[in-house]
Amino acid sequence: MGYNVVVVGATGNVGREMLNILAERLFPVDKIAVLASRKSLGTEVSFGDKTLKTTDLDTFDFTGWDMALFAVGSEATKQYAPLAAKAGCVVIDNSSLYRYDADVPLIVPEVNPEAIHDYAKKNIIANPNCSTAQMVVALKPLHDRARIKRVVVSTYQSVSGAGKEGIDELWDQTKSIYNPTDNKPPRKFTKQIAFNVIPHIDVFMEDGSTKEEWKMVAETKKIIDKSIKVTATCVRVPVFVGHSEAINIEFEDHLDEDEARDILREAPGVMVIDKREDGGYVSPIECVGDFATFISRIRQDSTIDNGLNLWCVSDNLRKGAALNAVQIAELLGREVLKKG
């Protein structure tokens, strides 16, 4: 006996990836519905060896469906997620709409699986921001051992984090550099992204940080520990898929690099590739299509008493979005619904 599953926003990058991962991980699906807006109605998407046609989100009845994976923006989620939840269908939402709601659990299954039991307050579970998801997978096992006081993170985020428009803009601008008659000015991004980096993701806030940076702070506190201090600088780079992060961690207790490496090797969802030689680390192009969060460049920070540096890379469409949502669905089934 399997689950009746809905994927909302099935024609987008994350929605398609959700379908791929549900099939890859042999999620126990009894019945599946793929929904899209009217402009994408009838578009075909793949689910394993099947081809499915999208139906209209506007007129869909969520009654009798077990869970809905939402991969649409906050506006559409605000309209349709409460309808699904009211109909008894548990919503797993990839947008930012519910992440900071005290009555909605924000979950990374390797980090805070116990939070799944709080879903019933609104029948909604939130998926974290892509840059936060991979970072907390790395931080949690280290926090359990030595208590993290402060995190300084600089991100190198791929254009797929901005959706298909971001991918298209990098592709088109890169080609236009070599064709002087084909100028492609910035549309999705605030400056040229081809052969450039942009220290600006999401809107600016009053204190000078961007909302992407604020998300990393607020979400890390909600998922791991509210006492952890976090400061972030989030940067868009000309990479199609895969977010990278340089993370500096200050602990309450001493933790040497060798023990940290051993802890991370045993941590769920983590793969350590850390050789001090040419190519002995993971770059974003190598993590595409993989489920793991990769950790490299683990080393002591000699400028503080209890400090470590590390490099963290993950496929943002997977662990940062679709994979984490499917892992939440698996956790929900295993711990709560118990049908599969």
Task: List the catalytic residues.
Answer: 130, 243
Helices and strands (H, E) in the chain, number of each type: 8, 14
Please report which residue ranges of the chain form alpha helices under DSSP H.
13-24, 74-86, 130-146, 164-177, 211-223, 257-266, 284-287, 323-332
The continuous run of DSSP H or E covering 85 comes out as helix 74-86
Cα–Cα distance, 21 to 316 (Å, whole number): 13
Question: Are 3 and 30 in contact, with CB atoms under 8 Å apart?
Answer: yes
Cα–Cα distance, 27 to 6 (Å, whole number): 13
Q: What are phi and psi of 203, to 5 degrees?
A: -85, 155
Neighbours of 306 (CB within 10 A): 18
Extended beta strands in the chain, E state = 3-8, 29-36, 44-47, 50-53, 55-56, 67-70, 90-93, 124-126, 148-157, 229-236, 243-251, 270-272, 293-300, 307-314
Burial zone of 69 (CB within 10 Å; 0-12 exposed, 13-18 middle, 19+ buried) = buried
Joined together, the tokens standing for residue 290 give 């993989």
Residue 249's SS3 state is strand
Q: What CA–CA distances, in Å, run from 135 to 86, 129, 337?
A: 33, 10, 29
